[in-house]
Amino acid sequence: MYNVMFAKPPLMIEKYPGFEDFDSYLNNDVKFRDPVSEDKFRTAPNQPSIDCYALNDPIFHNLNKFIKQSVKSYCKDILLTNSNLRVTQSWINKNVTGSQHTIHYHANSILSGIFYFTENATPTTFYSGEIDQINLPIINGRSNEFTAAVHFFTPMKGDLVIFPSKIQHLVSTNTNDETRYTLSFNTFATASLGKHEMMTYVEF
Ligand SMILES: [Fe+2]
């Protein structure tokens, strides 16, 4: 018998039921930062939108509602809290063919999410953050949630994923002909954190 002691909060995957066509908006209306790389010898970087509150656009009215409901479910089902998290910033990412998004996490956020606009998009790679100090030989290359150092999420168009903001992740080089578009967002507590009696209380 095995008794699981601790585990990381999982990746939540939801399928957006809406039928809006966002392609024209993404290709023609969204303004993106210039693709300036800090290192000219590396592949082109991800381009975030200039608008850092993208979900406020009326075109995302229904998607915004779906995201809020999904965040609420994650809080209730996984974090076991009725605390409401609000979406803070939200932005669109553009990855042209040959570009990548280097490893990062989302600071000053509790849960983060990614919505995928593009079919057959390059996966998002999540890292466990555990140090793989001892490399025992693995049977037939298998892995499970206790041994895996990375998790590849292969998205479908319309997928929404939610995860703890401190989990590091990246997008490897987009080798598809099609530009990869996603929307990312962060969240934070709305009213307060912690408990008075534990000296952990923070009010906003
Ligand atoms: Fe990210």
Domains of the chain by residue range: 12-28+47-128+144-203
CA of 185 to the centre of ligand 1 (A): 8
* Token output for 89: 């910033």
Quote the ligand 1 centre to 183 CA distance (angstroms): 10
Q: What is the pTM of this model?
A: 0.92
Q: Is the alpha carbon torsion for 65, 70, 72, 73 positive or negative?
A: positive
Query: What is residue 22's DSSP assignment?
Result: -
pLDDT of 39 reads 57
What is the distance between the alpha carbons of residues 124 and 161, in angstroms, rounded to a whole number? 10
Closest to 182 measured CA to CA, from 58, 67, 65 = 67
Distance 162 CA to ligand 1 centre (A): 11
- Taking the centre of ligand 1 as the mean of its atom positions, its distance from the CA of residue 128, in whole angstroms, is 15
Separation of CA 49 and ligand 1 centre (Å): 13
The Å distance, Cα 68 to ligand 1 centre, comes to 18
**What is the CA(93)–ligand 1 centre distance, in A?**
9
What pLDDT, on the 0 to 100 scale, is given for residue 35?
75
Q: In b/e form, how buried is each residue of 164-201, taking b as 16+ CB within 10 angstroms?
A: bbebebbbeebeeeebbbbbbbbbbbeeeeeeeeeeee
- Per-residue pLDDT 10s for the chain (204 aa) are 999 999 999 999 999 999 899 999 999 999 999 876 555 556 788 899 999 999 999 999 999 999 999 999 999 999 999 888 999 999 999 999 999 999 999 999 999 999 999 998 999 999 999 887 888 888 888 889 988 999 999 999 999 999 999 999 999 999 999 999 999 999 999 888 888 999 999 988
The DSSP code for 16 is -
Quote the ligand 1 centre to 204 CA distance (angstroms).
Answer: 25
CA distance 45 to 103: 11
CATH superfamily of 12-28+47-128+144-203: q2cbj1_9rhob like domain (2.60.120.620)
Distance 48 CA to ligand 1 centre (A): 11
- Please give the distance, rounded to the nearest whole angstrom, from the Cα atom of residue 154 to the centre of ligand 1: 15
pLDDT at 37: 57
The pLDDT of residue 40 is 59
Report CA(24)–ligand 1 centroid distance (Å): 24
Q: What are phi and psi of 197, to 5 degrees?
A: -70, -15
